[in-house]
Amino acid sequence: MTEVVADKARLDRDFSELYRTHLRDVYSYSYYRIGNHHDAEDITEQTFLQAYRHYERAVRESDGRPLRPWLIRIAHNLAANYYRDRSRRPQTHLGDAEIYSSPHATEDLVEGREEVAEVLAGVANLPDDRREALIMRFALDMDNREIARALGRSDGATKVLIHRAIRQLEQELQEGEGG
C-alpha cells in the first residue's frame, strides 16, 4: 500500500513539473489558435486535465521523448472541437494583443502595428494545418520533429508544410502590398 502512495506522489510531482514547464506553451498555442483569452484559458485547463488522466501511459509510450508535442496535440484537438462545437470564428483578433512592451515613436509604433496586423491577418487566412504549423514553429519555437509529433505527420511532411505555409504567407503579403 505504501508503494502505491509513493508512486502516486511521484506521478503527481512529475506531472506538476510538466505543468509548470509547459503551461505557457499550451496557453500560447491555445490563444493563437482561438484568439480569445478566456477560451484559451479553458482549453489550457482542459488540456492539462486530459493530460493528467493519460499521463502514465504517455510517459510509457514516449520512450523518453519530450511530452510537449503530446500536450500541443491535445490542445490542437480541443481547439478543433471548440470550432466544431461553436462553429464560429475568433471574436478577438490576434492583433489586439499588446505587441510592444516599451515606448516607441508614434510613427514607428503605427507602422509596426500595421505590419504585424498584416502578418497576423495573413496567418489567419492560411489553411488550418499551415497556420498551426507556423504558430508552433514561430510562436512556440518548436522544432520540426516536435511539430511533426504534434500534428501526427512525418518530419519530411512537416518540413514541406512549413515551407509552403511561409511561401503562401509571403505571397499573400506581397499581393496585399500591390504586387
CATH number of the structural domain spanning residue 26:
1.10.1740.10
Is residue 85 located within the same domain as residue 142?
no
Into how many domains does the chain fold?
A: 2
Is residue 12 located within the same domain as residue 72?
yes
What pLDDT is stored for residue 93 in this prediction? Answer: 47
What pLDDT is stored for residue 175 in this prediction? Answer: 84
What is the CATH classification number for the domain harbouring 111?
Answer: 1.10.10.10
| Dihedral over alpha carbons 14, 19, 20, 25 (to 10 degrees) | 140
Question: From CA 134, how far away is CA 163, in angstroms rounded?
Answer: 9
Is residue 105 located within the same domain as residue 178?
yes
Q: Which domain holds residue 157?
A: 100-179
What pLDDT is stored for residue 138 in this prediction? Answer: 86
Question: From CA 142, how far away is CA 138, in angstroms rounded?
Answer: 7
Is residue 69 located within the same domain as residue 7?
yes
What pLDDT is stored for residue 49 in this prediction? Answer: 95
Whether the predicted model's global pTM rises above the 0.75 cut:
no
What pLDDT is stored for residue 11 in this prediction? Answer: 86
- Per run of 10 residues, the mean pLDDT along the chain (length 179 residues) is 76 93 94 89 96 93 91 93 67 46 51 71 86 89 91 93 92 78
Question: Of 69, 92, 115, at which residue does a domain stop?
Answer: 92
